[in-house]
Amino acid sequence: MLSFMIKVGINGYGTIGRRIAHAVSLQPDMTVIGIVKTKPDYISRIASNTFNIFINDLKNKEDFNNRGIKVKGTLEDLAGDVDIMIDSTPEGVGEKNKQLYDENNIKAIFQGGEKSTVGESSFNAYSNFNESVNKRFVRVVSCNTTGLARTLFPIYNRFGIKHVDATLIRRATDPNDSKKGPINSIEPSLKIPSHHAPDLKTVINGINIDTVAIKVPTTLMHVHVVKAQLKEKASREEVVEEWNKYHRVLRVYGKEGLSSTAQIMDAAREMQSNRSDLYEIALWDESVSLSGDTLSYIQAVHQESDVIPENVDAIRAMFNLEDKEKSIEMTDKSLGIGRRNI
């Protein structure tokens, strides 16, 4: 380990935490010191082949040892030995952990499930990287908000946006969960706008957006139907040309057989990506159209992985390691973003 490497701890090794651990381990300027797990389950056991395991409560050490999992120490031990903790614990728990990070005088990144007030800033690499430079506590917005920011920021930045209406058709739960539902109903979030609209404003200051969220029985991806009224005149070609400058926006084609989230995730598998993930937002080319000043499009968001590159970039911003463009370039290269050809 080189001395200038940022020492990273991962508290919570669920859907997001395990992917951040992998992504951080690929970076030349940061290293994973350890991960924190609460249970000695199969995830802990597999993780222990790669990472040092820390636990919340020393009382559980024997349970871990009995499963052949060596315990390196406690969450407190890890907090004392890192420069930054990535908190990827369940929704609401991160807020409670903040004091520990504060006491240990380390930085911390929280995930989108936490209230926006947990951080000094909310983060999306494209839309507001610089707002998190040298900050101590930062929150990376959720998978859905990241998906909206990725495709709306290029348009907002280039043409201006008067107003956005977005309908979010959300996956019910993640593929490794067999407890949550619904399995056979469509469940609207009755709060309108859903929390995604105010959340997007934390990373695109001043954007005017309404969102409606509907949960459906699938585990693969979210799908967004977006209508954006532009300020400046734009053609379909100009819009597409703008998106093409951003590698984390990936245009996909129904005419090539990518007609649903099933085939998009299959394409990610075919590309041999880590855990069969898709870091990019998949934007269906055929759905892009302009009617007067209104741009319409449909996109799919891989909820398990789209925020992973953002977490890596947030670390670089918080330690002022690289500027926005260079950080994004390094992250994209390490994760294969932009080299892919789905």
For its own copies, which residue of 41, 91, 232, 325 counts as binding (CB under 8 A)? 41
When asked if residue 56 is in the footprint of its own copies (CB under 8 A), the reply is: no
Nearer to its own copies, 326 or 339 (CB): 339
Nearer to its own copies, 10 or 47 (CB): 47
Nearer to its own copies, 192 or 262 (CB): 262
Site for its own copies in 252-281 (CB under 8 A): 252-253, 256-263, 265-267, 269-272, 274-276
Indicate the SS3 state at residue 224. strand
Nearer to its own copies, 161 or 220 (CB): 220
For its own copies, which residue of 39, 96, 162, 333 counts as binding (CB under 8 A)? 39
Cβ 121 vs Cβ 46: under 8 Å: no
Site for its own copies in 8-27 (CB under 8 A): 18
| Residue with the two structure tokens 């290029």 | 154
294-301 and 222-230: which strand pairing? antiparallel
CB of 268 to its own copies, least distance (A): 10
When asked if residue 286 is in the footprint of its own copies (CB under 8 A), the reply is: no
The pair of structure tokens assigned to 89 is 């614990």
- Using the contact rule CB under 8 A, the part of the chain among 33-41, 97-105, 112-120, 281-289 near its own copies is 33-41
**CB within 8 Å of 137: residues ≥ 6 apart:** 98, 101, 107, 108, 109, 110, 118, 119, 120
CB of 232 to its own copies, least distance (A): 33
Q: Give the helix/strand (H/E) hosting 145.
A: helix 143-159
φ, ψ at 226 (rounded to 5°)? -120, 135
- Using the contact rule CB under 8 A, the part of the chain among 42-50, 72-80, 188-196, 232-240 near its own copies is 42-50
Residue type, 153: F
Catalytic residue among 143, 152, 295, 318, which? 143
For its own copies, which residue of 3, 99, 130, 184 counts as binding (CB under 8 A)? 184
Query: How far is C-alpha 137 from the geometric centre of its chain's CA atoms?
Result: 17
How many Å from the N-terminal Cα to the C-terminal Cα in the chain? 35
When asked if residue 66 is in the footprint of its own copies (CB under 8 A), the reply is: no
When asked if residue 175 is in the footprint of its own copies (CB under 8 A), the reply is: yes
Binding residues for its own copies, total number by CB under 8 A: 38
Nearer to its own copies, 204 or 250 (CB): 250
For its own copies, which residue of 42, 99, 190, 206 counts as binding (CB under 8 A)? 42
Cβ 186 vs Cβ 215: under 8 Å: yes
Is 76 an annotated catalytic residue? no
Residue type, 309: P
Burial pattern 3-30, b for ≥16 Cβ within 10 A else e, equals eeebbbbbbbbbbbbbbbbbbbeebebb
- Distance from C-alpha of 93 to C-alpha of 76, rounded to nearest angstrom: 15
Burial pattern 296-328, b for ≥16 Cβ within 10 A else e, equals ebbbbbbbbbbbbbbbbbbbbbbbebbebeebb
- Distance from C-alpha of 288 to C-alpha of 165, rounded to nearest angstrom: 15
- Using the contact rule CB under 8 A, the part of the chain among 51-59, 176-184, 229-237, 315-323 near its own copies is 176-184
Binding site for its own copies (CB under 8 A): 18, 39-43, 45-47, 49, 67, 175-178, 184, 252-253, 256-263, 265-267, 269-272, 274-276, 341-342
Catalytic residues: 143
